[in-house]
Structure 1
Amino acid sequence: MTTATAAPAFDAVAFKTTTRAQWQAAAEAWHRWGPFLGRWLGDATETMFELAHIGPGSRVLDVAAGAGEQSIGAARRAGASGRVLATDIAPALLERAAADARAAGLSNLETLELDGEALDTLPAGSFDAAISRVGLIYFPDQQRALAGMRRALRPGGRVSAVVYSTPERNAFFSIPVRIIRERAQLPAPLPGQPGPFSLGAEGALEAAFAKAGLRDIEVSRVPSPVRLASAAECVRFERESFGALHQMMVRLDEAERASTWDAIEEALRQFESSVGFVGPCEMLVGAGRK
């Protein structure tokens, strides 16, 4: 008689611990790339602000705010009569967000180290809008995060999030993921494991918002091509800023990692032309009302 072997389970606690450490280490680089992030994700960010109805006087919760480039944009929209609370799991990122807000003369932006799945520690009904730019996709329990955002909103308040669409529409990212997965001989993602394309499938973002009890849901597709000088520059951006790719290569030795990055650069050169590098990328911006 054979005994069935249980399938390996995704360890959310270990994932968060590793993720926090990666972002602590990458904070300086992520902040340094902030102006590029603002250009690359500018259209998606503005769409997120519009769908969240952020304007003068808005009280805004920014979840997984990172180094705060979009938090500062929200603070400018909210004006002196509004406020923005930028939260993240990595305090090194928030330190840079706070410093940039001070440098910009913004007194309406605060930061708080907080897990995006622990938003129930915030006062209920205290925000008009909750936003998350390319953060929700990496939460092990996306429903818990959305429930926390919904709880933090006043009646009629809105949640809006930016996520990647499908791998096929985001080759600048999916090609490196595929190459690393092949070279590191990684198994398929475990059930429940978060990742860049976890909400990109047709209807997935709408379904997640609906399950969280949000209403009047809408999703917009926003072309967001990655425009850089070369494929080499794109690889430098990903090497310095995308901790998930480094996590995937943890079992490769130094030579194997270098070879893998070379292979990624070679594959991404297909997107180079006389105008530089233009990597395919498409964002989805979803919103729903409490």
Structure 2
Amino acid sequence: MEANFELIREQQKESWNAISGGWKKWDTMTMDFLKPMGDEIIRVLEPKNSDLVLDIASGTGEPGLTIATMLTNGSVVITDLADHMVDIARENAINRGIKNVETITCDACELPFADNTFDTVSCRFGFMFFPDMLLAAKEMLRVLKPGGRIATSVWNTSDKNFWVTAIMGSINKNMQMSPAVAGAPGMFRCSEDGFMDDLFKRAGFKNISKTEIYGKLNCGTADMYWAFMNEVAGPVAAALSKADDALKAKIKDEVVDTIMQKYPEKVIAVDSNGLIIYAEK
């Protein structure tokens, strides 16, 4: 892996470990928020009872844990780059009494599995964080059995994801952000029309298809939205960690006002939109 990619990988690992406590705290809300995308991944993958499934960039365990409950004789290997997130996934499996899972800390670009091992691969919102997305896709292809199935989700364009832009718009307006490292991860890195299709084709996948799924971040109040995004959204947490108290308060006021203008008389459920890409080996 190139030196620049190594740097990005280490930054990602550090960032996700740092906010793992927030993901554990807000796990119920986060999993409700991401469930429509996970459900579509499961729908297109059609897990079979005896499948051996690899769930990559699983975070606190989904959709791998849900898939595991659907398998009579199969099992799921749950992986993530951040060991603290893997610890939470393992704890969630124990708390839910799910025994047909294994949790492993590893890099999607260097999967520690033999060729032709898995029947299916799932990866919910992981690709935009991988330093070398093509290498990650090729690794997923390598570990899939012939005819194996893969499904991943990425965020659609920014105009369809107010849950991000409501807060990042104010941050970008009020803070001079450092230029991103070339090839650095980003929320909308994979949103361009045809981007993931082309990536999968170059990796060697076939029978590629795509669906669009809408979701809602059911946060109830503008203040809860602010707290959630501060503790769960990596780019938000990273940016605001560089703001002093006065600037942070100014940004919060703007964000709350933006949210309240869009949802003046409703329980706040902020719009999201993802793309689910399916393919076969």
TM-score, length-scaled by structure 1: 0.90
Q: In 1, distance between residues paired with 2:12 and 2:181?
A: 17
The 5 A counterparts of 1:80-91 are 81-91=73-83
Q: For the residues of structure 2 that align with 1:269 and 1:46, how far apart are their CA atoms?
A: 30
Asked if residue 181 in structure 1 is aligned to residue 172 in structure 2, the reply is yes
Residues 170 and 202 of structure 1: CA distance in aligned 2, closer, same or farther (over 3 Å): same
The correspondence for 2:96, drawn from 94, 97, 104, is 104
* Counterpart residue number, 1:72: 65
Root-mean-square deviation over aligned CA pairs: 1.9
Cross-structure match for 2:218: 227
Quote how far apart the aligned CAs of 1:37 are. 2.4
Question: How far apart in 2 are the matches of 1:15 and 1:250?
Answer: 19
- Aligned partner of 2:37 in structure 1 is 44
Comparing 156-165 and 179-188, the one that deviates more:
179-188
Whole-angstrom CA distance in 1 between matches of 2:74 and 2:264: 44
Pair 1:269–1:13, CA change in 2 (3 A): farther
Q: Give the one of 17, 39, 44 matched to 2:10.
A: 17
In the TM superposition, what is the alpha-carbon distance from 1:262 to its structure 2 partner?
Answer: 2.9
SS at match of 1:107: coil
Residue 177 (structure 1) shift:
2.0
Contact residue 81 and residue 108 of structure 2 kept, 8 A: yes
Question: How far off its partner does 1:11 sit?
Answer: 4.1
Contact 2:45-2:150 at 8 Å conserved across structures: yes
Q: 1:51 offset after TM fit, Å?
A: 1.6
1:187 is displaced (CA, Å) by 5.6
Aligned to 1:200: 191
Q: Does 1:117 align with 2:109?
A: yes
Q: Is the 8 A contact 1:59 1:78 kept in 2?
A: no
Supply the distance in 2 between the matched residues of 1:178 and 1:140 (Cα, whole angstroms).
25
TM-score normalised to structure 2 length = 0.92
Residue identity matched to 1:143: L
Unaligned ranges ≥5, structure 1: 1-9
1:1-290 pair list within 5 angstroms: 11-79=4-72, 81-119=73-111, 121-186=112-177, 189-290=180-281
SS in 2 for 1:196: coil
Separation in 1 of the partners of 2:116 and 2:74?
A: 15
Structure 2 Cα separation of the partners of residues 58 and 31 of structure 1: 28
Is contact 2:229-2:237 (8 Å) kept?
A: no
Say if 1:156 and 1:289, in contact at 8 Å, map to a contact too: yes
Kept in 2: contact 1:126–1:153 (CA 8 A): yes
Q: Match of 1:193, SS?
A: coil
CA distance in 2 between partners of 1:239 and 1:250 (Å) = 9
Structure 2 gap ranges (5+): none
Give the direction of change, closer, same or farther, for the CA distance of 1:169–1:19 in structure 2 (3 Å limit): same
Name the SS of the counterpart of 1:224 in structure 2: strand
* Inter-CA distance 12–180: structure 2 relative to 1 (3 Å threshold): farther
CA drift at 1:163: 1.0
